[in-house]
Amino acid sequence: MGPLSARLLMERGRPKSDRLGRIRSLDLSGLKLLSEHLDPKLLSRLTQLQELDLSNNQLEMLPANLGLSHLRILRCANNQLGDVTALCQFPELEELSLEGNPFLTVSDNLKVSFLLPKLRKVNGKDASSTSSQVENLNRELTSRVTAHWEKFMASLSPEEAEKARADFVTSAVRDVRYGPESLSEFTQWRVRMISEELVASGRTQVHEADIPEKSPKATAVQEPRARLVASKRPDDVPLNLSPNKRVRTSPLAQVEGHSMGCDGSQPALKLEPLYFLQCHSKNNSPQDLKTQLWACAFEPAWEEGHTEATSQSVATCGGEAVCVIDCQTGIVLHKYKAPGEEFFSVAWTALMVVTQAGHKKRWSVLAAAGLRGQVRLLHVRAGFCCGIIRAHKKAIATLCFSPTHETYLFTASYDKRIILWDIGVPKEDYTFQASQLLTLDTTSTPLRLSPVASCPDAYLLAGCEGGCCCWDVRLDQPQKRRVCEVEFVFSEGSEARGQRVDGLAFVNEDVVASKGNDLGTICLWSWSQTWVSRGSQSTVAVVVLARLQWSPTELAYFSLSTCPDEGIVLCGDEEGNVWIYDVRHILAQQPPLPATPQAPTQILTWPQPRALSQTVTKTMVNTVVANPTFTYLTALTDSNIVAIWKRH
């Protein structure tokens, strides 16, 4: 499609007219329009236009001077928009559609609400909750920037003040912080605007008149809802968190836990319970205590220009839903549902994609899989599924991305196969075309996957129903279908073989933590020492470094996890406890280490939130995961509760 013409506008405009100034509704959808095709001189002749449809094109931005001052309805779904600030030229806009623009974020939703004071609907949904949230954020940011301005100017002499005004904006953007990191783009954008207003006026505060006034419909809401409006597909069901479904403990509440360090040298970690959520409930019912939650994973921490970005968004799966939760606020940022599916596993990757204009963008992609044997690739921030891999004929038990190749995905199924896929990068229509690279055969169901930390491109470990196995996954080898190369056993003798390993993770580049092979303990063993002793054997006894005391339960499938940067091992149990082990002192010790299992550093006991059903007197914590800096800890239970703790 080339530049627009007056003839095309009259053909697609309503009512039919030979004059552009009489057209009130215009459909320009599906024309493969680029941003440069929107000619402001031509479009500004549409002086009475109230409704414009630009959906299903290839727009990366909207020109800033289209002159459509009477526009009330704008549809821009399924484009490549990366910025929403140009929407401020439509002050009368009441309805807006931005679905299917994968580069827009939650912060862009807030910007839209701030820029368009008369907006009533976004993506077909009521915009009042976002409007209320923006007003609260704006009020707090204005107060903080004003306080920063007063402090900044008070430290300067009159001569210095005039010269230093330009430095104030930079100082405010750097130092003024408020709200969750997921909204930092919006808050920094507003801080810059407020700061520039202060500098321009020389005043000591920003008056209410400087803040866009919302229409009566936008402000007359009962109470702000505790969730963000996220872009979703029409068939996604929005989640409303009512008070009896999301409970926050008192800020002064302390975790019931105790230090269990064997030598007293490891102090108990200070962890505060923040939120308890039932965001996977059927029909959003707080009485649903049966939906089983299976897995969770923190989003990779990345933020352009910020090397100290911290991961605080966690994906959880259970039942037919996948949720993404902001741990700082307890807000469910996104929810994806697949009716008839039961999700067992989730895994993140971050892809670098290039737009048609040659701009590089970074995507967080979430893979989710379960009962149907399919992998769904979810573009979380845009709120839609952009690819389905029909990976296995039976259910997928677990999956994980390669730590060195962002597009390589391992899937492990009840069909006793592990497959390595290259999901590739998305095409122009944001879909993926995955290709199969390797098939690894197992003799029993694979339960946990872990690329070997020191050589992830060469070997893959798997904890299986029948033991712990290892495969050579180097792609320069000719065989594309391979059997297990080595089976690891945890004690001498043939009777040690065939024992389930349902927990597996690397503590550092060499030390592996595994669980299931010995009742009531977690084993720490050395990959390098074990591999060196292998020789040509197909069965090798692991070189055990230490054993950690754990619950003596005979129940299985409690997922073990680690924080390698912090030297932490985590595991839940059947009583609702979270066992925490700080193993740095163990890793630093010289052999021989104590023969008896070493006690946990701390055990967190499950605090009973009063607002949840009183029938939840005991719950099983089957999955515990912390972000890499161990700032947030997320636990999943068999009674449909997601619990979030924060370390102090």
Q: What is the pLDDT of residues 171-212, one digit of tens each?
A: 888 888 877 666 778 888 988 899 888 888 765 444 443 444
Q: Report the CATH number that the domain containing residue 24 is assigned in CATH.
A: 3.80.10.10
In a domain, 185, yes or no: yes
Question: What's the rounded Cα separation, in Å, for the pair 158 and 165?
Answer: 11
Task: Tell me the helices (H) and strands (E) count for the chain, helix number first.
Answer: 9, 39
Same domain, 114 and 153: no
Question: What's the rounded Cα separation, in Å, for the pair 405 and 424?
Answer: 10
Angle at 374 between CA 399 and CA 397, to 5 degrees: 40
Structural domain for 195, as ranges: 129-201
In a domain, 362, yes or no: yes
In a domain, 215, yes or no: no
Question: What's the rounded Cα separation, in Å, for the pair 199 and 206?
Answer: 11
Same domain, 114 and 138: no
**Residue 146 clears pLDDT 50, i.e. is over it:** yes
Same domain, 364 and 513: yes
Same domain, 414 and 542: yes
Query: Residues 579, 572: contact at Cβ < 8 Å?
Result: yes
**Domain boundary pick from 123, 153, 182:** 123
In a domain, 222, yes or no: no
> pLDDT digit string (tens) for 35-82?
889 999 999 999 999 999 999 998 988 988 898 989 999 999 988 888
Same domain, 501 and 588: yes
Q: What SS3 class is residue 426?
A: coil
Of 269-273, 450-454, 620-624, least confident by mean pLDDT is: 269-273
Predicted pLDDT of residue 101: 82
pTM (two decimals):
0.67
**Residue 646 clears pLDDT 90, i.e. is over it:** yes
**Domain boundary pick from 68, 102, 123:** 123
**Residue 573 clears pLDDT 50, i.e. is over it:** yes
- For residue 643, give Cα distances in angstroms to 161, 276, 628: 49, 5, 18
In a domain, 265, yes or no: no
In a domain, 242, yes or no: no
In a domain, 211, yes or no: no
Same domain, 143 and 103: no
Predicted pLDDT of residue 182: 64
In a domain, 479, yes or no: yes
Same domain, 493 and 367: yes
Query: Residues 293, 316: contact at Cβ < 8 Å?
Result: yes
Mean pLDDT of 220-229: 28
Question: What's the rounded Cα separation, in Å, for the pair 345 and 643?
Answer: 18
Q: Are strands 313-318 and 293-298 parallel, antiparallel or unpaired?
A: antiparallel
Question: What's the rounded Cα separation, in Å, for the pair 588 and 584?
Answer: 6
Same domain, 29 and 136: no
Question: What's the rounded Cα separation, in Å, for the pair 480 and 307?
Answer: 39
Same domain, 69 and 197: no
Same domain, 177 and 65: no
Q: Report the CATH number that the domain containing residue 286 is assigned in CATH.
A: 2.130.10.10
Is 405 buried (19+), middle (13-18) or exposed (0-12) by CB count in 10 A? middle
**Domain boundary pick from 123, 147, 173:** 123
Same domain, 536 and 550: yes
> pLDDT digit string (tens) for 433-461?
899 999 999 999 999 999 999 999 999 99
Same domain, 599 and 625: yes
Question: What's the rounded Cα separation, in Å, for the pair 429 and 531?
Answer: 45
Furthest CA-CA distance within the chain: 92
Task: Please count the structural domains in the chain.
Answer: 3
